[in-house]
Amino acid sequence: MDLNESLKKLVFEKSQLKQLVYSNTLQAFKQFHDTTAEIISLFESENQSSSHVVNFKFSDRGDFEFEVQFAGDILVFLMHTNVFEIPRNHDLMRTQYIREDTTRSYCGIIHIYNFLADSFKYQRDNDLGYLIGRIFINKDQHYFIEGKRELGMLYNNFNTSVLNQDAIQSIIESAIEYTTNFDLLTPPFDEIKVIPVGEIRNDLDKKSIITAKRLGFRFQADN
């Protein structure tokens, strides 16, 4: 029995494409890891040589995840191990860049989440974090970002943007800048006016009261 030639071509070409995208994404994630660690090291040095007292910490959380703390915030960088195709109704699918080669629409993804440092410190498992950006990387090492303000508006030229060292440093710095300016707002009174007796009887770190930067408010695209 012989293999169908078109099926054989499809399986091998698609597999090779996804392996290349995965390899590019993993390489980029390692660069994000090392560059973030270096930036935090510079912050720590500045912290020690001045009168400032700010917490900075870099932590590995496995092969595809790391976190960084600065002051009262934590950023978690998480690489997804699968390769995705950009949805067909996405604006990028109508660009000349992808029309010339549809395999450019297959991407690996690195997510950036923002959490409150106290949520981890006090093990408040009910607290909420926010996805502030996700980085899409294709076979050409081109990238674009879906994200909030500094991230989403500055890094969206998929046809020309190559993910090099300068771009990675700029993305990390923009993520830190956005997070620093993304303040914790007092939730609406009606969102927290009722609490069960059992919650009050619990210790503070065991309460299920939810804390989040935009609790009770819509978290949507910034204008």
Instruction: Compute the distance between CA of residue 158 and CA of residue 171 in angstroms, rounded to an integer.
Output: 15
The 3-state DSSP class for residue 149 equals: helix
Q: What is the secondary structure of 181-204 as a DSSP string?
A: HSPPPPPPGGGSS---HHHHHS-G
- Under the banding of pLDDT at 50, 70 and 90, the label for residue 201 is low
- The predicted structure's pLDDT at residue 123: 83
Of 14-23, 122-131, 146-155, the range with the highest mean pLDDT is 14-23
Q: Is the dihedral of CA 64, 54, 35, 154 positive or negative?
A: positive
The 3-state DSSP class for residue 140 equals: coil
The set of residues, in sequence order, having a beta carbon less than 8 Å from that of 76 and lying 6+ positions away, is: 61, 65, 66, 67, 111, 112, 113, 114, 115, 129
Tens digits of residue pLDDT in 151-200: 655 567 899 999 999 999 999 999 999 888 876 655 555 655 556 666 65
Which of 84-93, 114-123, 152-161 is predicted with the least confidence, judged by mean pLDDT? 152-161
Instruction: Compute the distance between CA of residue 195 and CA of residue 49 in angstroms, rounded to an integer.
Output: 46
Instruction: State the average pLDDT over residues 76-102.
Output: 94
Domain ranges of the chain: 7-184
- The predicted structure's pLDDT at residue 155: 60
- Which position has the higher pLDDT, 180 or 110? 110
Neighbours of 218 (CB within 10 A): 5
Average pLDDT score over the chain: 83
- The predicted structure's pLDDT at residue 222: 45
Q: Is the pLDDT of residue 219 over 50?
A: no
- The predicted structure's pLDDT at residue 33: 98
- Looking at the chain, the whole-number percentage of residues with pLDDT higher than 70 is 76
Instruction: Compute the distance between CA of residue 84 and CA of residue 79 in angstroms, rounded to an integer.
Output: 12
Say if CB 186 and CB 215 are below 8 A apart: no
Burial grade of 199 (CB within 10 A; 0-12, 13-18, 19 or more): exposed
**β-strands 56-60, 130-137: how paired?**
unpaired
The set of residues, in sequence order, having a beta carbon less than 8 Å from that of 79 and lying 6+ positions away, is: 25, 26, 29, 64, 65, 108, 109, 110, 111
Residue 132: phi, psi to the nearest 5? Answer: -100, -15
Tens digits of residue pLDDT in 17-58: 999 999 999 999 999 999 999 999 999 888 877 767 788 999
Query: Measured between alpha carbons, how far is residue 146 from residues 19, 48, 168, 171, 219 in Å?
Result: 23, 35, 15, 12, 14
- The predicted structure's pLDDT at residue 223: 38
- The predicted structure's pLDDT at residue 215: 46
